[in-house]
Chain A
Amino acid sequence: MSEVLVLVEHVEGQVKKVTLELLTLARKLGAPSAVWAGPGYSAEAKAKLAEYGAEKIYVADSADIADYVVAPKAELLAQLVSTASPAAVLVAATAEAKEIAGRLAIKIDSGVLTDAVGIGEDLVADQSIFGGGVNVRSRVTKGTPIIAVRPNATPVEAAAGAGAEEQVSVAVSDTAKTAKVVDRVKEEKGARPELTEAAIVVSGGRGVGSAENFSIIEKLADSLGAAVGASRAATDAGWYPHQFQVGQTGKTVSPQLYIAAGISGAIQHRAGMQTAKTIVAINKDPEAPIFELADYGVVGDLNQVVPQLTDEIAKRK
Chain B
Amino acid sequence: MNIVTKNAPHLRRPNATVVRMMRDVSIALTPLIVFAIYQHGVDALLILLAAVLSMVATEYVYYQIKDFMERKREAKSETEEKIRELNWQKKEKKKALKEKTQKAREDYEAFMKDYEQRMASLRETLKEENRAAKKSDNKSFRLANRSFTIYNFTIITSGLIYGLTLPDTIPLSKVIVGGVVGALLAKLVFGGMGQNIFNPAAFARVFVVLSFGAALSYEAFVDADAGATAMSVLNEQMFNAGVVDNYDYWMLFSGIGLPGSLGETSALLILVGGIYLAARRSFDIVVPITYIGTVFLLSLTVMFTQDLGFWFPAVHVLGGGLLFGAVFMATDPITSPVTRPGRIYFAFGLGVLTFLIRLFGNLPEGVVFAILIMNMFVPALDYAKWAKSRFTVRSVLVFSIVVVLAIVITNVGVYYVA
Answer whether A and B are interacting partners. Answer: no
